[in-house]
Structure 1
């Protein structure tokens, strides 16, 4: 049996796949990472799925590499291939579905609570200054007090505004790279609450990945 391969678009050296790598190892799935803007595949035909990670870029800038990446996201939508898009990735996905990205009155920084499907409340890492506005026909699956669209689904594509992939190692990398700008510097000690939050994030993310890439 051929081992499935999922393409990953990464936008910043400190924002890697995090705990997605552990999920892929356990499921015998290969992640092939491309570092935008310098590295993007010509096509997604040979991949069984696409993951688009976050980054500090602003969608409104729309440089040439971002347009090329959006063209690949569109290709994944049309083929079709399952997509998981996170933060910047979710914002790029939303624009290809007829949505837009708008400035927030105040940013979401650090650990925040989101409500999933109107019932489950999950503490998640947040670091964003813009929010997503979607057409009415797209399902919104999670929201927070400051941001109505925290998770959305359209057919075989899911967008997340928050970061369930950020494990403790990833947060340490963010803190080392961004120093005082990083909103997680006071959450790095491995206290019981932080460990429980990370465990819940892992369970949520692994279940989501299993569902999204079950046919990969």
Structure 2
């Protein structure tokens, strides 16, 4: 398969996703924000990466149209962070600022009806201040202490939206965390769900454990 990444910031790249696709024999390209989005005819699947923009930002107008076409196309679509919110918005779900921003490692509990091939309880890396509701006909991933909906699957798993950053490596997480002061401004109040960058990066094995979760999810996604 040939996959196109839609990248919204230089510091928020494919990270481990690229390695996984290479290892499984899939080809891929990256379309950066400001470039003309790819034609659906030129790819077999889309991966929408995270970014510091709001999902209704004017510079994302062409991408929003592409997402709407991709959802109707029958091709696999995966969104992370901003990418997930663009999918949720296109499917009619409400997207808004969350009560608490979540930055750091938090326990994720799978929803009882979750279709995801993941452990019932696992630890995931979060970097988000905006949330979305569950679109019609979507099945939820599960929730964290501050976020009841951390993702969903739609159309039998062909479309997946994730708030958590299973693709992160220690290097990509450090670059992502460096954007937090601007990505989450203006802060409404101090949050108990904001971990310091040094705490997030202190245990490299956490990223290795996430890699196993990513493997399982991506295999499930492309099978669908």
When normalised by structure 1's length, the TM-score is: 0.86
Residue by residue over 1:177-207, the C-alpha shift from the partner in whole angstroms, topping out at 9 and shown as x without a partner, is 4487794333324x4xx41x22221111111
Match of 1:114 in 2: 108
Decide whether the 8 Å contact of 2:95 with 2:130 is kept in 1: yes
- Displacement of 1:106 after TM fit? 1.4
Match of 1:210 in 2: 219
Measure the CA separation in 2 of the matches of 1:17 and 1:115. Answer: 25
- Structure 2: 5+ residue stretches without partners: 113-118, 183-194
Residue by residue over 1:9-39, the C-alpha shift from the partner in whole angstroms, topping out at 9 and shown as x without a partner, is 0011111101101101111111210111x11
- Structure 1: 5+ residue stretches without partners: none
How many residues align? The count is: 204
Q: 1:160 pairs with 146, 162, 166, which one? A: 162
Q: 1:81 pairs with 75, 88, 101, which one? A: 75
Decide whether the 8 Å contact of 2:88 with 2:135 is kept in 1: no
* Aligned counterparts, 1:47-126, within 5 A: 47-59=43-55, 61-63=56-58, 65-118=59-112, 120-126=120-126
CA-based RMSD: 2.0
Q: Which moved more, 1:44-53 or 1:178-187?
A: 178-187
Q: 1:40 pairs with 18, 33, 36, which one? A: 36
Match of 1:173 in 2: 175
Measure the CA separation in 1 of the matches of 2:197 and 2:18. Answer: 21
- Displacement of 1:113 after TM fit? 1.3
- Displacement of 1:116 after TM fit? 2.0
Q: Residues 187 and 103 from structure 1, CA distance in 2 versus in 1: closer, same or farther, beyond 3 angstroms?
A: closer
1:187 matched to 2:182? The reply is no
